[in-house]
Amino acid sequence: MSKCLTDRDIALFKYLHENKVASGKHLHQFIFKSASGTARRRLIKLRQIGMLAAISRDEDGDKSIVYSLTRKSFNLLQRIYPEDCLIKRYRSNSVDHDLRLLEIKNTLQQKGLVSGYWPENILHSSARVQTDSRIIPFIDLQADAVIRLGRKVDEYFYCGLEYEASLKAQSEYARKIAAIYLNENIEAILYVTKNLEIERRIKKTELEQAPRREKKIYFAQLEKVTNENSKVTFASQENNILEVY
């Protein structure tokens, strides 16, 4: 490891590898936990030595800078943690989508009921995760994340998480939902949607795919997920409730 890098820098690289992207605010909160000036200076330094990439964004008036790994920092991380870097994936194909997933993750991980959380990049990059039979069905599904609910081993309940930010073709939803219902090892999927229109489209597709069975999909809109403090409530089309608190 380069002499100019610290253990905190490596923790930062691991965080970015896990989540693909993060804002300066996220890094300040979860990595630096110190004065904002310290974080800002260190992020500038890591960019200067080629260990961080900065991405400019403009969504709904938000023009903040987002950070991701570079090939140089990923290669370093791969040498230190080869079992967690099986594939060379460290860039985001959709920055806004991955930032929202990070917000969802940060919200849910604060709940005592959440005892495990694996984002997409870890699902596909970690040798240890890929040998867990309870997680493999969600890897095959290409879920955005897997969540483990429960405080005790004999209470653990695994479910997938999907975030939908825009309307897709009906055929895409149909393929995903058909795969959910064909796999008996998938008990539940939490679908977070950006708006009600997307939720309605997915619900319509689910009714077409599984009209006579108990529904596996539980819905909540992004704003409610990221803004609720005490608990996050997901509801199926049969009005079954799954609360994460």
How, if at all, do strands 65-69 and 114-119 pair? unpaired
Give me the pLDDT at residue 77, please.
97
Confidence of residue 3 (pLDDT cuts 50, 70, 90): low
- Name the average pLDDT for the chain: 93
Confidence of residue 37 (pLDDT cuts 50, 70, 90): confident
pLDDT at 35 over 90: no
Q: Which of 217, 148, 219 minimizes the C-alpha distance to 178?
A: 217
Give me the pLDDT at residue 57, please.
78
pLDDT at 38 over 90: no
pLDDT at 1 over 60: no
Convert the pLDDT of each residue in 53-69 to its tens digit.
999 876 666 678 999 99
Q: Locate tokens 């073709």: which residue?
A: 169
Residues 6+ apart with CB under 8 A from 137: 183, 185, 186
Topology of domain 7-92, per CATH? Arc Repressor Mutant, subunit A (1.10.10)
Q: Locate tokens 């081993």: which residue?
A: 153
Residues 6+ apart with CB under 8 A from 179: 140, 141
Instruction: Please compute the mean of the pLDDT values over residues 8-21 and round it to a whole number.
Output: 97
Q: What is the DSSP letter of 62?
A: B
Convert the pLDDT of each residue in 112-127 to its tens digit.
999 999 999 999 999 9
Strands lying side by side in the sheet with 114-119: 114-119, 145-149, 157-164, 189-193, 217-221, 232-235, 241-244
This prediction's pTM = 0.92
* Domain locations in the chain as residue ranges: 7-92, 100-244
Give me the pLDDT at residue 78, please.
96
